[in-house]
Structure 1
């Protein structure tokens, strides 16, 4: 009888899981397809295009959750009241019809489901996947940050002007405007490298998790700090090239790097450089294998 009851409960949980998954697909498949189409063809709003890292982040989050399915099943069924609250809030967000709220309903409902089924142990198990979904969800954060990027814009313009001057070009920098050969290039808020910075941090978190380096606070802090610096430097170089191309009449190259696939290629190469950087930091900052057991024994005795 106990075995039959166990099989019955397992079948019931399986059917419930399939049913909830089906509902989520019906609710969010059109939204996710809209995001993907907008990110691929740049038909989505400028602010929401900043979250195009979701093209790799969302599949990775789904893969991690699938990989942990057996651990999920072994967790005891333990509902938390906060789960119901989040599910209600997520439903309200979805039904509101407001784009930002509808988008945010996805991570809200997913978090609510984890709490409803498994409580906080479920959150701990699926926490990184939920973070990836949240950080890939298009919101108005870039729009809210844009008014405060003027110092960064001015710094980029001044540095780009200085670099071009070193090559003998007559360049005048006025605030966020770079004048090259009588032609102006503006380092606008959306040219200040926020999109590249968002993507860099997101991809860096994925690399840290994938390699297991996220467990080391020193490696994580150093890697994220250096990745941010690399992102800023890469954006300065990009704006310098754009100013050079526009000022010297090379409009084809300007368009290729600014509006076409050249910008994507440039960003991809910059992101690839993070892989050897993480490997180097991990080897440099992680303790040698022969002293790791000693550290573990010391931590146990404490």
Structure 2
């Protein structure tokens, strides 16, 4: 009879995990919906639009965290001292009412909760999902980076001008501007591929983790160098086509590639090329002997209780 009462009392008391998840849903559900709606409808600010890779990355992070639940439960409860400052900072940022600070409070709060519930082992266990969330959290980072990519804008403009001249078009290049048949085209930071570079590097991080490519420093380094190269070449081609369409008066083609689904199709093709790049690296570069893993096999997602593959992420 006593055991029955204790069971009933335990049943009536909501589990700590369910309580925490419920509070997170109440506090951050509207914020996450604002991100998703803004990314899908492009109603969010242009700087925050740079983080639209979160449409794939955040669900993948949640999937990884869910797969680690058994390993999480096996960890002993412990409180790390750093959790209290992080939780306090997250509360302060959320209470500020400023969108960017509220955004940053989410990864800080989750990091603090990991340290508060399971200590350092819990944070190590959830490190990669937290990294994916942090890199998908909208901030003003693109605005801070834009002044430093002026050389890239100038390089893309100059290269596009040379390519268009090969087709007999009248092209004049001035810094980041192309005058094609008297029509002026600007290679702006957004058009220079900064957003696509963000997305490509983010998806490259996921692919390197998922395929086990991150077990080799050499393969990982070549992969990310290749990502940067693909992004630059892809955006040179895209800006060349845009300048050609604009200079030749093909307004509908220009709008299709610049703002319509043609741009999305082009971006999808660039992301698809990352898989081709991974296969090429796996075929050409042998795995390190001390970190040997089947080069052609896909790393299975957490069939061992949620432990991530050993690597550099």
Q: TM-score, normalised by structure 2?
A: 0.88
Match of 2:16 in 1: 16
Match of 1:130 in 2: 130
* Inter-partner Cα distance in structure 1 for 2:14 and 2:211: 32
Match of 1:105 in 2: 105
Runs of 5+ in structure 2 lacking a partner? 294-313
- Spell out the pairing of 1:135-174 with structure 2 (5 A cutoff): 135-174=135-174
1:213 is displaced (CA, Å) by: 1.2
* Inter-partner Cα distance in structure 2 for 1:272 and 1:206: 13
- Aligned pair in 2 of structure 1 residues 54, 288: CA closer, same or farther (>3 Å)? closer
Q: Give the SS at the match of 1:191.
A: coil
Q: Give the SS at the match of 2:15.
A: helix
- Spell out the pairing of 1:1-302 with structure 2 (5 A cutoff): 15-287=15-287, 292=292
**Which structure has more helix as a fraction of its residues?**
1
Runs of 5+ in structure 1 lacking a partner? 294-302
Answer with 10-19 or 260-269: which moved more.
Answer: 10-19
* Inter-partner Cα distance in structure 2 for 1:274 and 1:188: 25
* Inter-partner Cα distance in structure 2 for 1:93 and 1:235: 37
User: Runs in 1 of length 4+ with deviation above 6 angstroms?
Assistant: 10-14
Match of 1:297 in 2: none
Match of 2:300 in 1: none
- Aligned pair in 2 of structure 1 residues 134, 288: CA closer, same or farther (>3 Å)? closer
- Between the two proteins, the alignment pairs up a number of residues equal to 289
* Inter-partner Cα distance in structure 2 for 1:214 and 1:125: 17
Q: Give the SS at the match of 2:106.
A: helix
* Inter-partner Cα distance in structure 1 for 2:73 and 2:12: 13
* Inter-partner Cα distance in structure 1 for 2:287 and 2:144: 41
- Aligned pair in 2 of structure 1 residues 288, 45: CA closer, same or farther (>3 Å)? closer
Conserved 8 A contact 2:216-2:287: no
1:142 is displaced (CA, Å) by: 0.5
1:12 is displaced (CA, Å) by: 9.8
1:103 is displaced (CA, Å) by: 0.3
* Inter-partner Cα distance in structure 2 for 1:261 and 1:53: 17
Q: TM-score, normalised by structure 1?
A: 0.91
